A and B are shown apart, each in its own frame.
Chain A
């Protein structure tokens, strides 16, 4: 019996050793010599596509954010338009667009990028958000080029809205005859999309500093980082000058009760001992202000609220004085953010030093 047990043990060791040698040999043949065929022309072995795709779907379903993370304004036309603008510059190449087919080459990718038309039915909003932000390993789908997650939602909005979208509509919302910036920021930077900042109220210094911050990643935004990665550094100054030269037009809106509360905060009249008076840097202010600070007069409320939230959470970068805004915003409540956004949006659009009252 003992002999048998010993023999048995030795046999086991021998089998394990042989398996290890065979495995090593296979690894050398595949990795080193190149026996495995990586050609995309011939597809996968039977079953591999199923295994990989199922793994992918399960992984996305497992990791997607909860439904509660979906913003209330997801399906608004402005979110769709912003998403469409970014889609056109970053995604259309592989996924096509209404009236824009995928190229023959793209269709040879393995796996083949799904045609846009199929996406919205297959995934829900949180799943699309997860896929766009994370990308998919070994599929050619890249991750989002920023840590920030909130600026992925416009793209999700577009993906939901494009189902059945006519080529004409697509052309209309992504029209770039006025230049690439105009797709989202409107003609001369006077954005009519409330998700996108209007640039006509800003100074040359501020725009240049913001573009530089987007370019080097100090200011985190997947959308603007993509844009800046395609622009030569020299164009920053020219763009800043172009938009700064525009004289803002427009009228003040009758302030709501909420906007009045915002005004009190901005003027340090609200009794708050934790929120600095916004107007000392952003106007209205009776004497000249450092032009590196942005004017907010007439800026779109949803954009302001989003940016204030980013500052408060500490995800927002900017120029050299960014620390000022981190400190200033860290105690803002949601209500105060809404009130401040409503107040500044209600002002007559104006450059910083023209806001004096």
Chain B
């Protein structure tokens, strides 16, 4: 029994080392630096640990005899002060050396992310833009360039972190903070709020998508366009409900009367990789359940439940929202 457990446990732990939200599976320049830093620190720690245990083994098993005063003093000062100071200084110098690179200035695209309870407002400012392209709960970045990220918070402190792309930075109400990210590998990753911000802090995540520059430009152009017209009769009913039930008071669907600024922009909702800030799949089922009772999935959510609508009405609404690509 013990044999397999000893082999399996590290494997089990290692399972969590890759995937869409892992520091150890970097897809960006800053995350690579952080991953390397982790491995170097780990190596340093292993050296220290082996040396210390070796010493303990030596004095208790191999040569268990009293040392004379001089040798004991040398051992304590050498092993207890000199060696750790040297080793830790090297590691500190190495780590500090990497810090400025984490705060390099972006070169072109600026993405403004605002933390709300419990979702993310995301505004893209391409170079020279006068108005932003607004979306929510998903951050897309192009490879091959360093994008500037400016961070704000609406009411409470949040923290912005895409582990696969780089380090984290706090978002503070009334004070803009900044960072930059330089993704290298296209793919879908996951970001997470990492500062406790209320009841549903754990449910405040987002999709982070890295794209080739051309694909990113195309996507951004689509994102800037107004919403598509509903395609089916059911979706048209949903669209009419959306506008008659007050949804436009909080949500914007560009190209319609809905211009609300309180909740996430839904113009291209269905093209996002997830629903409700990274916690639900983008399906009509999930949309229907979410609209009926958001608090079931996200306690303390600001959005009111629409359980006064009939199932048929909710389905129509979901069909409309699910078609907003």
Which A positions have Cβ atoms within 8 angstroms of B?
A: 267-268, 271-281, 285-290, 293, 319-321, 323-324, 326-328
Contact = CB atoms under 8 A, between A and B. Distances in A.
Nearest to B257: A286
Given A320-B308, A324-B304, A276 B244 contact: no
A289 B242 CA distance: 10
A302 B240 CA distance: 33
B166 interface: no
B240 A287 contact: yes
B308 A289 contact: no
Nearest to B245: A290
Contact of A287 (B155, B249, B250, B257): B257
B302 A277 contact: no
Contact of A324 (B246, B257, B258, B261): B246
Contacts of A321: 308
Interface string B253-278: 00001111110000000000000000
Contacts of A326: 304
Contacts of B257: 280, 285-287
B41 interface: no
Contact of A268 (B154, B155, B244, B261): B261
Contacts of B305: 323
22 contacts: A267-B259, A268-B259, A268-B260, A271-B261, A272-B261, A273-B114, A274-B154, A275-B262, A276-B249, A277-B248, A277-B249, A277-B250, A278-B249, A280-B246, A280-B260, A286-B257, A287-B240, A326-B304, A327-B302, A327-B303, A328-B249, A328-B304
Interface of B: 114, 116, 121, 154-155, 240, 243-250, 257-262, 302-305, 308
A288 B258 CA distance: 13
B142 to A, nearest CB: 28
Given A276-B250, A280-B249, A327 B304 contact: yes
- Point out which of B259, B262, B305 has the most chain A C-beta atoms below 10 A from its C-beta: B262
A279 to B, nearest CB: 8
Contacts of B302: 327
A273 B262 contact: yes
Nearest to A319: B308
A277 B259 contact: yes
A274 B305 CA distance: 17
A267 B252 CA distance: 12
Given A321-B308, A324-B304, A326-B304, A280 B262 contact: no
Interface centre among B116, B244, B303 (most CB of A within 10 A): B244
Nearest to A325: B304
A45 to B, nearest CB: 60
Contacts of A275: 262
Contacts of A287: 240, 243-244, 257
A279 B257 CA distance: 10
Contacts of A289: 244, 246
Contacts of A279: 249
B168 to A, nearest CB: 23
B176 to A, nearest CB: 15
A280 to B, nearest CB: 3
Contact of B249 (A271, A281, A320, A323): A281
Given A277-B262, A285-B248, 10 more contacts: A273-B262, A274-B154, A276-B250, A290-B245, A290-B246, A293-B246, A320-B308, A321-B308, A324-B246, A328-B249
